[in-house]
Amino acid sequence: MYTQTKVKAGLFGIGLQAYWNQFEGLKERLMGYVDQVAVEMGKFDAEIVNLGLIDTPEKAFEAGATFKTADVDIIFLYVSTYALSSTVLPVVRKANVPVIVLNLSPQASIDYESFNRLSDRTVMTGEWLAHCSSCAVPEIANVFNRCKIPFFQVTGMLYNDPHVWKEVLEWIEAANVARIMYHNRLGIMGNYYSGMMDIYTDLTLQYATFGGHMEVIEVDELSGLSAQVTDVEIEAKLLEIHAVFDVQDNCLPQELHRAAQTAVALDKLVVKHQLGSLAYYHKGSGNAINENTITSVILGNSLLTGRNIPVAGEYEIKNVQAMKIIDSFGAGGSFTEYYAMDFNDDVVLMGHDGPCHPRIAEGKVKVRPLEVYHGKVGNGLSVEMSVSHGAVTLLSVVETGDGTLKFLVAEGESVPGSILEIGNTNSRYRFSIGSRNFVEAWNKQGPAHHCAIGKGNLASKIKKLGEVLKVKTIQVC
């Protein structure tokens, strides 16, 4: 199993070797700037591979090979002064990862009065060169564009500029999520819900976009694992269920026992196949053992989702990818769809049956018995929750008609109010463009009827992830 825990971010600065003999102290000053960038980046959860100042084409070739060997996920290019594009291109071509150009001035402004009082023109030029980080950026951009190398910019100040480090952090987080997705093992268990055509997806396209591995699993395997679960394991799982959930008094002991047994089996399945996410659906009809298994998975799958192993029902592979992305940003990632519209309060009610994400719930998740799983076989225990109130982001991984995937994003707010107490997850969401405009703008992009919901405003990060993965991102609000 892949064990690297931190994203690797490459860092290098550029300069012009011809300057060093002409302007005393300039090289050391610029190297200090690069080190300052490394200090700031070191505050984030990343491994920084800092190659210092690259000032010749020869060093650029060496730097590219070093980044390649180090297996960096993203490169930050700090433009410290004017430098030749030939000191940049070999680095990024060899490394072949996203490159972020840092155009950071050492100060908000040159002290013109002090600068113009300098008596030595050479000293003046050296001082100017220590401030002209923006000079080489057009040259670099020109060469990148002509070489078909995507690049992104962060412009600001080296010191005391929160915008700069927020942007850098988001790029690092996006690269980290891309790395997680690349190494993720996604279990797909069962089969599609017959006729639900919007959720069908091209598995090879998923591989091509995100990487990772998909393990095709039979429900029979989960049933077999369930048969091996011990009473001791069931008792331990029951304690966990009561600790995590608010189990309602009308939940029968035999149903809790059944759910706990299947939850233990799910844990074993995850360990056996080293899963980082799971999509499942199975009718269960005609096979009593499998029906017993598949009608008792909701609590166990909710526990897995709360442990950073998101689980999507209805075999929704695209949506479990969206859930994994949001989860990897540390924001939850729960399964949802439209439930109804409330025009009086201008909100959209959204939720879903099946697993929930306990860690983003408003209060403790309730466990309720259901006499029927609507549209599905059998009955058993289910979960009921609302997403905690505050900022939220919706994400859909959309399969287009031209053989590509795109991200569809909306930011909104989970707001208090009446919900449908039907033993499902459901919440009330308000959007800045209003509920009518939101649903029309969202639907226009042709997503599946499911999407993922997470806490906080994530659109900026998801857009960066889209750039890293070369996936188009549409934000409707």
The answer on pLDDT for 4 being more than 60 is no
Please name which of 53, 47, 52, 54 lies closest in space to residue 71, comparing C-alpha atoms.
47
Which tokens sit at 464? 């960066």
Comparing 237-246, 375-384, 389-398, 457-466, the range with the smallest average pLDDT is 375-384
Angle in degrees, 0-180, between the axes of helices 26-41 and 162-183, rounded to the nearest 10: 60
Report pLDDT digits (tens) over 308-351: 999 999 999 999 999 999 999 999 999 999 899 999 999 999 98
Report pLDDT digits (tens) over 26-40: 999 999 999 999 999
Which tokens sit at 65? 């090979």
CA angle 292, 298, 302 (to 5 degrees): 150
Give the residue extent of every domain in the chain: 7-181, 184-475
Pick the CATH number of 7-181 from 2.70.70.10, 3.40.50.10940, 3.40.140.10, 3.30.70.100: 3.40.50.10940
* Cβ–Cβ under 8 Å, residues 439 and 477: no
pLDDT for residue 3: 47
Please name which of 214, 444, 109, 170 lies closest in space to residue 331, comparing C-alpha atoms.
170
Same fold, 7-181 and 184-475: no
Report pLDDT digits (tens) over 129-149: 888 889 999 999 999 999 999
Angle in degrees, 0-180, between the axes of helices 203-210 and 317-328, rounded to the nearest 10: 20
pLDDT for residue 118: 86
Kindly report the pTM of this predicted structure: 0.94
Report pLDDT digits (tens) over 209-258: 999 999 999 999 999 999 999 999 999 999 999 999 999 999 999 999 99
pLDDT for residue 5: 66
Report pLDDT digits (tens) over 39-91: 999 999 999 999 999 999 999 999 999 999 999 999 999 999 999 999 999 99
Pick the CATH number of 184-475 from 3.20.14, 3.40.50, 1.10.10, 3.30.465: 3.20.14
The answer on pLDDT for 2 being more than 60 is no
Q: What is the mean pLDDT of residues 425-451?
A: 96
CA dist., res. 88 & res. 243, Å (int): 55
Model confidence at 168, pLDDT cuts 50, 70, 90, reads very high
The answer on pLDDT for 378 being more than 80 is no
The per-residue pLDDT of the chain, averaged, comes to 93
pLDDT for residue 371: 75
